[in-house]
Amino acid sequence: MNNSEIYTELDRELLIQKVQMQMSEKRFRHVLGVEEAAIALAGKYGASIEKASIAALVHDYAKERPDEEFQQTIRKEGFDLDLLHWGNEIWHGLVGANLVQRELGIDDEEILQAMRVHTTGAAEMSLLDKIIYVADYIEPGRNFPGVEQARELAIVDLDAAVAYETKHTLAYLVEKEVPIYPKTLETYNKWVAKK
Ligand code: GDP
Ligand code: FE
Ligand code: FE
C-alpha cells in the first residue's frame, strides 16, 4: 500500500485478507476489535481514521511467527542484539514492524511506530501510538477486571487511559514474576510516576 494513495474499502479488504492468513481466528477477531476501538478513538481525538485502521489491522501481524524468524530478523536488520534475550511478547510489535514493512509494503512511519510500541508503550508517544496502545487493551473482546474502567477513561482522557493501562500491565507482570522490558519501565516512569 502506497502512502500517497487513499486507503479504499478494497485496500482494507485486501489488507484484512493478508492479516487473517497470518493468525488464528481468535487473534483475528481481536485484531478486528482493536480496529473498531482504534477508529472510535481516532474519531474522538482527531487522528487519521485511515492510519488508525491500518495500524490496528497490522499491530499483531507477526505474533504467530516462529522465534527463529524474529532472531534472524534481529541479526540481519540491525536491531539491538540485546533483543535476542527477550521473546515473542517484545518482538512481535518492535521487530514485527519490519516484517509488515517488507511483506505488506507499508512504509508509513507513524503506522510502523504505533505498531512498534503497542506492547510496551514509550515515554514519548504520538496520538496514534496512544490510540493503538489503548485500543489493544480495551477492544470489545477484552474481558478482565478493570477493563470497564479503562474503557471509560479512554473516552474522556486518553492520557489517563495510557497511564491506567501501563500501571495495571506492570502490576500484572510483577505478579507473574516475569522480566520487565526496560521500555515498559520507561513508560511507567513517564506516564504513571510522572518522573
Ligand atoms: P496482545 O499482543 O494483543 O496479546 O497484547 P500486547 O502486545 O500488548 O502484549 C503481549 C504480551 O506481552 C502480553 O502478555 C503482555 O502482558 C506482555 N508484556 C508487555 N510488556 C511486557 C514486559 O515488559 N515484559 C514481558 N515479559 N512481557 C510483557
Ligand atoms: Fe500485541
Ligand atoms: Fe493485540
Mutate to test the pocket of ligand 1, among 30, 32, 65, 119 (most ligand atoms within 8 A of CB): 119
Give pLDDT tens digits for 80-133. 999 999 999 999 999 999 999 999 999 999 999 999 999 999 999 999 999 999
C-alpha of residue 146 to centroid of ligand 1, in Å: 17
Burial class (CB in 10 A: 0-12, 13-18, 19+), 102: exposed
Ligand found nearest the CA of 37: 3
Q: What is the pLDDT of residue 151?
A: 98
- For ligand 1, which residues put their CB under 6 angstroms from it? 60, 63, 89, 93, 118-120, 136, 169, 173, 178-181, 184
- In this structure, are residues 188 and 162 in contact, taking their beta carbons and an 8 Å threshold? no
DSSP string covering 67-133, please? HHHHHHHHHHTT--GGGGGS-HHHHHHHTHHHHHHHHH----HHHHHHHHTTTT--SS--HHHHHHH
* Nearest alpha carbon to residue 102 among 122, 128, 76: 76
Map residue 172 onto helix, strand or coil. helix
| Greatest C-alpha distance within the chain | 46
C-alpha of residue 118 to centroid of ligand 2, in Å: 6
- In this structure, are residues 162 and 191 in contact, taking their beta carbons and an 8 Å threshold? yes
The amino acid at 10: L
Q: Where are the domains of the chain?
A: 12-144
pTM of the entire predicted model: 0.97
CATH of segment(s) 12-144: 1.10.3210.10
- Look at residue 186 and tell me whether its pLDDT is greater than 70: yes
- Find all residues with CB under 8 Å of 116, minimum gap 6, and list them: 93, 94, 97
Find the angle CA(32)-CA(94)-CA(133) to the nearest 5 degrees: 45
Hey, whose CA ends up nearest to atom 13 of ligand 1? 89
Q: What is the pLDDT of residue 5?
A: 62
Give the DSSP letter of residue 180. P
**Per the structure block, which three cell numbers stand in for 97?**
514492524
- Look at residue 75 and tell me whether its pLDDT is greater than 70: yes
C-alpha of residue 78 to centroid of ligand 1, in Å: 23
Q: What is the mean pLDDT of residues 28-56?
A: 98
**pLDDT > 70: what percent of the chain?**
97
Ligand found nearest the CA of 187: 1
